[in-house]
Amino acid sequence: MRKSLSIITLSLVIVALSIPSMAVPRLQTYIWWSDYVDDGIPSQGTWNTRSNDFVLTTAAYWEKYEVGDLLGGTRPAYDAMDTYLRIGIPRGETGSIYINGMEVSTLTITPPPLLVPPSVSDPSIPNGLDYSYVRIGVMDNRCVGALHFDHGMVHDWGWGSMAFAAVSVRGFSTVKFDAQGIDMCRNTFANPLTHDASFSATPEPGTLSLLGLGLLGAVPLLKRKKR
């Protein structure tokens, strides 16, 4: 019996050691003063805002900063990334998006061929999304300038950099924001589904009124059931 328990314990230790720790995503998008929404699905999540005007941040994060790094400790080898913001809007909807006071249509570019086009569909958007790309610029890791926006928490300063943009959205029911990039070795990166950002419009007053009337109509039915 003891031998069997020892074998099981040893097996569990080996399995635990073989599981790699979760690395911080190289690229992340974040909206300040937003809420993290994951609907109970660990592999998905988004920093979501219902405000039409907000500050969007793109973070390029290489590795966590340790106190000794600046005092002769380990620093990451220099690297830089050409970074792009991918903006998704519901197909068939009309509206406007402004970034730093400029209409997105005037900033849109053709993405580099290395960047893989989006292939993951969003079941909450029946007709799919149309995507456009805006170039953020070169981001590097020479300074401790990036935060980790991690599943509802903001922590762990790291080697990297961040880009900020004032965004205004009008007319669209939702807008998705993702970051993609190409580093000096031509490797491509994209923020995972757990580290992206989105805008969702607040329901119109008329819609809220109809919802309220529907709830009021359900009250008599509930009373009847109690009787």
**What are φ and ψ of residue 168, in 5° steps?**
-125, 130
- Taking 50 as the threshold, does the pLDDT of residue 134 lie above it? yes
Q: What pLDDT is recorded for position 204? A: 65
> Mean pLDDT throughout 126-146?
92
Q: What pLDDT is recorded for position 101? A: 97
> Mean pLDDT throughout 85-104?
96
How confident is the prediction for the chain on average, in pLDDT? 82
* Structural contact between residues 42 and 76, judged by C-beta atoms closer than 8 angstroms: no
Q: What is the tens place of the pLDDT at every residue in 168-195?
A: 999 999 999 999 999 999 999 999 999 9
CA dist 131 and 129 (Å) reads: 6
Which of 72-76, 92-96, 136-140 is predicted with the least confidence, judged by mean pLDDT? Answer: 72-76
CA-nearest of 200, 196, 207 to 85 is 196
Q: Which residues contact 115 (CB under 8 A, 6 or more apart)?
A: 84, 133, 180, 182, 188, 190
Q: What is the tens place of the pLDDT at every residue in 1-58?
A: 554 544 444 443 333 333 334 689 999 999 999 999 987 887 889 999 999 999 999 9
pLDDT grade for 227, boundaries at 50, 70 and 90: low
- Taking 90 as the threshold, does the pLDDT of residue 128 lie above it? no
Q: What is the pTM of this model?
A: 0.78
Give percent of the chain above pLDDT 90.
63
Joined tokens for residue 190: 């994209």
